[in-house]
Chain A
Amino acid sequence: MMKGYLMMRFAGAVLTVLLTTMSGSAQTATAPASTSRTATAQPWTKIPIPPLHAFKPEQPKRIELANGLVIFLQEDHELPFINGTILIRGGSRDEPANKIGLVSLYGQTWRTSGTTTVDGDKLDNELENKAANLETSGGTATTSVNWSSLKDDFDTVFTATMDLLLHPNFKADKLLLAKRQIETGIARRNDDASEIANREAIKLVYGATNPYARQPEYATVDAVTLADLKAWHDKTVVPNGMIVAVSGDFNSAAMEAKLRTAFGSMKRGTLISTPDIDFTAPEHAVYFADKNDVDQSNVVIVGLGTKRSNPDYYALSVMNEVFSGGFGSRVVQDVRTKLGLAYDVGGSFGASYDHPGIFYVIAGTKSVSTVAATQAMLAEVEKLKTEPPTPNELRKAKDQVLNSFVFHYDSPEKTLNEQVILAFYGYPPDFLDKYKTGIEKVTSADVARVANKYVDPSKLAIVVVGNEAQITPKLDTLGKVTDLDITIPPPPGHPTK
C-alpha cells in the first residue's frame, strides 16, 4: 500500500507536506522540580529493569591506501544489499561568493549528465531496472556519491559508479535543468513563513555573507558555467580528500581487493582548503518580516553555538536536555504545556564539528500571542543562567542521554556513519565512548558554569515572521524592531517588479 503524502523538493530543500497524518511531535514534558508533590504509588518504579544484553557493535574495518584514500568496510549480512558512499572534501562553503549554488548545481548535473560512455538518461534506465541507485549531491562541506543495489548487481553498479567518478561528462541541458530547479526554490522561498524565519535567523547569527548562511540568487546561479563544474570536479576529486564507505552483504577481504583495484591508481592532489571564517555573535535586536496570509507568527531566537571539540561540549549537551531536550525540557514544558502558546516549539545549543553551531529557540504561535510567547522563550533563556538544574532535572537529563545511548550504534550503518564523520572531521574514533564518559561526569555546577559562560541574552537576535496587522501587543514591546528586507532580487536583465 502506497502512502499518500506529497514530497516537494525544490532546489535540494525537501518540503514534506503531510496530507494524511498529523504527527504529535514535541508532545510536551517536564516535571517541575516540585518537592511538595507527594506522588501516588508510582507502580512503574517497581517494574524490574534487567541489565541490558551485552552488545559490542562490530567496528568497520579501516584501510588507508598509499594515495591517501581512506576506506571503511562494514559487513552486514541481514539483507542481500550493498550500499556505498564516496565523501569528497569541498562543499558550498568553499564556492566563490559570485557563484553561490555552484556546488548544488554540480551535485545535480554530475549524475544526470552521465559519463563519457553512458548518457545519464540511459543510466537512469539501467539502474532503476535493477532497483538500484546511484546519486551525486552537493553539501556544505563535501560532495558525495552514493550507490545501492542488490548484492548480485554490485559489480555492474560499482562499475557505473567508478565510471561516473573518473569520467564525468557535464552537459549543458542538464545544467540548465538543475538551474531551473534552484530558480524555482528562489522564486518560492518567501511562500512559507517558517522557511523565511529560519533563513533570516541563520543570516543574522552567522552574517549574511557567511559561507554557512548565504543564499543562491538568480544572478549567482546564472553565473555558473559548465567549465565551473568541470573545474570543481578536477579540483576536488583527489584520493587524499576522499573517504569511501561500503556496507552490506559482502566479504571484507574480497571487497577490499575490489576497492584497492578501483581507487589505487588515482593520483594524489592538492586538498581544497577552507579559509578561516569569522564568526561574530549577533546584537540583541528584534527583526521582523510581514506576511499577511498567515495567522501564526514564527519566532526564532538565535545566537552562536559551539563546536563538538569544545571540552565543555558534555556539560552543554546536558544543559541542552534540561533546556529543550524533548518532552521533559523546560522550554516545551513552559511554552507548550503550561501556557498552551505553541504546538511546534523547541531549541538547541547547537554544536558542529568544525565551526560554531547555532543556539536557537523556536516556536509558532497565534498572532496575538507573539509577544507573550517570545517573552516566555526569553525568560527560559534567562533562567538557564539564574536557575541551575535541580538534582532531579540533572538526573532526568543524564538518564535520557545515557539510557538511550544504545541508539547511537544499534545498526551497522549507524556505526559506520559515525566513524566516517569522525574521520572526515579529524575526531578520534572513540569520540562516542568519550562522550558517554563525559556526560556521566557532568554536575549541576558544570551546567551552571557553561550556561553562564556561553549563554548571553545580550547576543541573541529575535526573528519574527508573521501577520503584522494581527500582532497585538505590537512587537516593539520587545524592543526596537528592524524590518527585514526579504525581497527576492530579480534575475539579471529583468526590471524590478
Chain B
Amino acid sequence: MRVRGVTAAMLLLGIALCCAAKAQDLASFEKRTTVKVLPNGLTLIICERPEAPVFSFFTLVDAGSADDPQGDSGLAHMFEHMAFKGSTEIGTTNYPAEKVALAKVEAAYAAYDAEFRKRVGQDPAKLERLRKIFNDAQAVAEKYVIPNQFSEIAEQNGAVGINASTGEDSTQYFWSMPSNRLQLWAYLESQRIGHPVEREFYKERDVVQEERRMRIDSSPTGRMVEQLLATAYVAHPYGRSGVGWESEISQVTATEAEAFHKKYYVPSNIVIAVVGDVKAATAMPILERYFAPIPAGPKPEPMTTIEPPQFAEKSVVIREATQPFYIEGYHRPDYRDPDDAVYDAITDIFSNGRTARLYRSLVRDQRIAAEAEGFSGFPGEKYPGLFAVYAVPLPGHSPEEMRTAIHKELDRLKNEDVTDEELARFKTRARADLLRGLADNEGLAHQLAEYQTRYGDWRELFRQLDRINAVTKADVRRVANKIFIASNRTSAQIDFTPPQQKSPEPSKLPTPRTPTPAQTGGAK
C-alpha cells in the first residue's frame, strides 16, 4: 500500500515534495532490511518496500554448473529443472508407494546402464529387455505423479515470472506474488529445498536435451561460444558446457541428482531474499517456521582447481555457411580481486552507449561492424573468468578486420590514459545505475541475495561505489597492460563459407543414420 498520503502531498509545494522523497542510500536500506542466519546456516534477508501489496523472492544456491561432478556436466542445471517437480508432499498421490516405485526405477536404470556401457560383449537382446524393464518401472512410478502440481499451486495463487536459472557460479529461483501469499510461498520454497523428489527424471532429461539443441547445437553463436570456453580453459570447469555435453546429459541419473542436492543444497549454502510488502517483524517468524527445520549439512568444500596461467594464444576458426562473427577473451582474476572495479571501468568505457570506444571506432567511424562490445566476468565471476570482446561484422567485412580493430583499441588502452571525461562518466553512470535498480522488488531481491552470498554482507551493494570512485587512469592502464597480452588470449570466429552445392532435390536423398541420444553416450 502506498503510504505517502495523496492528500498531504497535494497540499504541499514542489519543494517540500522533493524533500519528502525517500533517501535511497545505505542508511535508508539499513532501516528496512533485516538479515537473519538460522541455526541450520540458511540466510534470510527481508527488505521492506511497501509500495504495492506484492513481494518478490530470490533464492540463491551457491552452487552452479562449475560444481558439476566430472563426467556429469549439466547436473546442476538438471537439478534446477527437477526443483519444479514437487516434493514428498506436493505432486504425489501417495509418496510412500511412489518412493518404492522410484527406487525400482533407479535399480532398473542402473541395470540397463551397466549393460549399455559395456565396451565389449554388449548383448543387444538383453539391453532391449533391460530397457523395457526400465520403461515399465517408470510407468509404474508415474501413476503416483500429479504433474506440475508445484508450479500450478504457485500460478493459481497469482505467482508471476516463475522461473529459475543455472549459471556457472550459482543456481537461482525466483517469482513474484501477492503479499498475502507469503506463508504459502515459504511452504512451497521450503518443500523444494528441503524435500525434493526426483520424479519424472528421465523425461525431464529429454527436455534438457532439447534445451541444449536449442541453445547450443542449433545456434551458430551458441556453438561458437561453447568452443571458445572449452578452448580458453584447460583445467577449470568454466571450460565445460554449462548445459552439459550431450553424452553426459544422456547418462545422468536421478541418484546423481539426489547426491548433488545432498551436497550443495545445504542451508549454509543458500541465501533467500524477500523484498516488497512484508514486515520483518511478522514475516521473519513465518519464514523461520518453514526454513529452520531443514536439516543442517556441512558447507561444501571449496573448489581446489585453479586455472593455470595461459602461456600461448589459442584460437578456434569455424568455417560454415553462417554469417561471420568474432570474439576473444582474456583471463582475469575473480571478483574479489582489488582491481575488480577497474574491469568495470574498462567495460563501461569500451561498451556503454554511443560514447563507448568500440562503438565509436568500429561502428561509427570505421563502419566495419554492426555492433562491438566488451564485457567482464564471463562465463562467471566467482572464479577467474574472461574479459571478452566481440564484434559483429557488417556485410562484406571479415572477422580478421574485427580482430585488428579490437586490438587497436586494446593497445590504446595500454598506451594512453583514458580521458577524465570517460572516467567521470563511468562513475556517474555506476551510481545512477545502482539507484535505478532500487525501485524494483525482483531486481532488488536478486542484488541483495547476490551481494550477501559473494561478500557475506548485502551492504556491499552500496559500498562498491567507494571502490568504483577510487579507480584512477593509472589503474586502467596498469590492468590493461596486465591482461591484454597475446599469450593470455583465446579467440573464436565464424568464417562464412558458401554451402556445398546441394543436389537439386535433397528430399530424394537416402536418409542417413538417425542418431538417438542413448546411442551416442561415451564412458564416464
Nearest-CB distance from B43 to chain A (Å)?
Answer: 18
Q: Is the CB of A4 within 8 A of B214?
A: no
Contacts of A42 in B (CB 8 A): 89
Check A144 for interface membership: any CB of B closer than 8 A: no
| In the complex, the 4 A-B pairs of residues with the closest C-beta atoms, listed nearest first | A403-B158, A251-B14, A131-B432, A29-B148
Q: Is the CB of B163 within 8 A of A8?
A: no
Q: Which of B127-161 contact A (CB under 8 A)?
A: 146-149, 151-160
Given A54-B1, A294-B218, A21 contacting B180 (CB threshold 8 A): no
Q: Is the CB of A28 within 8 A of B147?
A: yes
28 A-B pairs whose Cβ atoms sit less than 8 Å apart in the complex: A1-B454, A2-B343, A19-B378, A19-B379, A27-B84, A30-B147, A30-B152, A40-B93, A42-B89, A49-B181, A52-B179, A55-B2, A77-B4, A77-B20, A78-B24, A187-B323, A192-B220, A193-B218, A295-B213, A337-B200, A340-B207, A342-B207, A399-B157, A400-B158, A406-B52, A406-B54, A407-B160, A407-B176
Check B210 for interface membership: any CB of A closer than 8 A: yes
Nearest-CB distance from A183 to chain B (Å)?
Answer: 6
Contacts of A227 in B (CB 8 A): none
Q: Is the CB of A184 within 8 A of B22?
A: no
Check B62 for interface membership: any CB of A closer than 8 A: no
Given A1-B377, A184-B394, A44 contacting B435 (CB threshold 8 A): no
Contacts of B438 in A (CB 8 A): 78-79
Nearest-CB distance from A35 to chain B (Å)?
Answer: 12
Check A64 for interface membership: any CB of B closer than 8 A: no
Q: Is the CB of A31 within 8 A of B152?
A: yes
Check B21 for interface membership: any CB of A closer than 8 A: yes
Nearest-CB distance from A177 to chain B (Å)?
Answer: 7
Contacts of B218 in A (CB 8 A): 193, 293-296, 364
Q: Is the CB of A47 within 8 A of B183?
A: yes
Contacts of A2 in B (CB 8 A): 343-344, 347, 375-377
Given A24-B81, A43-B187, A343-B214, A128 contacting B146 (CB threshold 8 A): no
Q: Is the CB of A191 within 8 A of B323?
A: yes
Contact mask for chain B residues 91-125; partner A; CB cutoff 8 A; 1 contact, 0 none = 01111000000000000000000000000000000
Assembled-state Cα–Cα distance A402/B160 (Å): 12
Contacts of A124 in B (CB 8 A): 353-355
- With A22-B211, A44-B89, A406-B54 already in contact, 5 other A-B pairs whose C-beta atoms are closer than 8 Å: A1-B450, A50-B180, A78-B438, A184-B395, A327-B84
Q: Which of A2, A22, A55, A336 has the most CB of B within 10 A?
A: A22
Q: Is the CB of A52 within 8 A of B178?
A: yes
Check B301 for interface membership: any CB of A closer than 8 A: no
Query: Residues of B within 8 Å of A, CB-based: how many?
Result: 135
Assembled-state Cα–Cα distance A176/B151 (Å): 49
Q: Is the CB of B321 within 8 A of A23?
A: no
Q: Is the CB of A131 within 8 A of B431?
A: yes
A128 touches which of B22, B203, B354 (Cβ 8 Å) = B354
Q: Is the CB of A79 within 8 A of B52?
A: no
Assembled-state Cα–Cα distance A295/B209 (Å): 11
CB-based nearest B residue for A344 = B214
Nearest-CB distance from A294 to chain B (Å)?
Answer: 4
A333 touches which of B95, B147, B221 (Cβ 8 Å) = B147
Assembled-state Cα–Cα distance A474/B207 (Å): 22
Given A31-B152, A364-B213, A400-B158, A53 contacting B179 (CB threshold 8 A): yes
Contacts of B52 in A (CB 8 A): 55, 57, 406, 409-411
Given A44-B153, A293-B322, A340-B204, A39 contacting B146 (CB threshold 8 A): yes
A328 touches which of B54, B156, B184 (Cβ 8 Å) = B156
Contacts of B433 in A (CB 8 A): 131
Q: Is the CB of B164 within 8 A of A78?
A: no
Q: Which of B1-35 contact A (CB under 8 A)?
A: 1-2, 4, 6, 9, 13-14, 17-18, 20-22, 24
Q: Is the CB of A4 within 8 A of B375?
A: yes
Contact mask for chain B residues 257-300; partner A; CB cutoff 8 A; 1 contact, 0 none = 00000000000000000000100000000000000000000000
Q: Which of B390-421 contact A (CB under 8 A)?
A: 390, 392, 394-395, 421
Given A4-B388, A27-B151, A129 contacting B509 (CB threshold 8 A): no
Q: Is the CB of B21 within 8 A of A249?
A: yes
Contacts of A396 in B (CB 8 A): 152, 155-156
CB-based nearest A residue for B322 = A191
Assembled-state Cα–Cα distance A35/B444 (Å): 42
Assembled-state Cα–Cα distance A53/B278 (Å): 11
Check A468 for interface membership: any CB of B closer than 8 A: yes
Assembled-state Cα–Cα distance A58/B51 (Å): 12
Q: Is the CB of A51 within 8 A of B180?
A: yes
Contact mask for chain B residues 355-389; partner A; CB cutoff 8 A; 1 contact, 0 none = 10000000110010011010111111100010010
Check B222 for interface membership: any CB of A closer than 8 A: yes
Nearest-CB distance from B150 to chain A (Å)?
Answer: 9
CB-based nearest B residue for A126 = B355
Given A20-B378, A22-B215, A37 contacting B93 (CB threshold 8 A): yes
Assembled-state Cα–Cα distance A469/B512 (Å): 7
Q: Is the CB of A29 within 8 A of B155?
A: yes
Contacts of A404 in B (CB 8 A): 155, 158-160, 178
CB-based nearest B residue for A294 = B218
Nearest-CB distance from A8 to chain B (Å)?
Answer: 6
Q: Is the CB of A183 within 8 A of B151?
A: no
CB-based nearest B residue for A123 = B354
CB-based nearest A residue for B517 = A366
Contacts of A411 in B (CB 8 A): 51-52, 439
Contact mask for chain A residues 472-485; partner B; CB cutoff 8 A; 1 contact, 0 none = 10100000000000
Check B235 for interface membership: any CB of A closer than 8 A: no
Contacts of A353 in B (CB 8 A): none
Q: Which of A298-318 contact B (CB under 8 A)?
A: none
Given A53-B53, A251-B14, A327-B155, A23 contacting B164 (CB threshold 8 A): yes
Check B474 for interface membership: any CB of A closer than 8 A: no
CB-based nearest B residue for A373 = B210
Query: Of the 9-residue stretches B305-313, B422-430, B485-493, which lies at the interface with chain A?
Result: B422-430
Q: Is the CB of B183 within 8 A of A184?
A: no
CB-based nearest A residue for B211 = A343
Check B338 for interface membership: any CB of A closer than 8 A: no
Check B326 for interface membership: any CB of A closer than 8 A: no
Q: Is the CB of A400 within 8 A of B155?
A: yes
Given A21-B166, A39-B146, A129-B424, A399 contacting B156 (CB threshold 8 A): yes
Q: Is the CB of B509 within 8 A of A469?
A: yes
CB-based nearest B residue for A152 = B18
Check B77 for interface membership: any CB of A closer than 8 A: yes
Assembled-state Cα–Cα distance A128/B354 (Å): 8
Q: Is the CB of B242 within 8 A of A22?
A: yes
Check B256 for interface membership: any CB of A closer than 8 A: no
Check B320 for interface membership: any CB of A closer than 8 A: yes
Check A232 for interface membership: any CB of B closer than 8 A: no
Check B511 for interface membership: any CB of A closer than 8 A: yes
Contacts of B14 in A (CB 8 A): 250-251, 253-254
Contacts of B156 in A (CB 8 A): 328, 396, 399-400, 403
Nearest-CB distance from A99 to chain B (Å)?
Answer: 20
Given A48-B183, A58-B2, A364-B210, A180 contacting B394 (CB threshold 8 A): yes
A403 touches which of B178, B277, B507 (Cβ 8 Å) = B178
Nearest-CB distance from B417 to chain A (Å)?
Answer: 18
Check A6 for interface membership: any CB of B closer than 8 A: yes
Assembled-state Cα–Cα distance A352/B163 (Å): 26
Q: Is the CB of B152 within 8 A of A44?
A: no
Check B457 for interface membership: any CB of A closer than 8 A: no
CB-based nearest B residue for A151 = B18
A79 touches which of B24, B77, B149, B203 (Cβ 8 Å) = B24
Q: Is the CB of B209 within 8 A of A366?
A: yes
Assembled-state Cα–Cα distance A183/B312 (Å): 37
Given A20-B379, A31-B148, A343 contacting B207 (CB threshold 8 A): yes
Q: Is the CB of A32 within 8 A of B429?
A: no
Nearest-CB distance from A228 to chain B (Å)?
Answer: 21
Q: Is the CB of A181 within 8 A of B370?
A: yes
Check B466 for interface membership: any CB of A closer than 8 A: no
Q: Is the CB of A24 within 8 A of B180?
A: no
Q: Is the CB of B378 within 8 A of A4?
A: yes
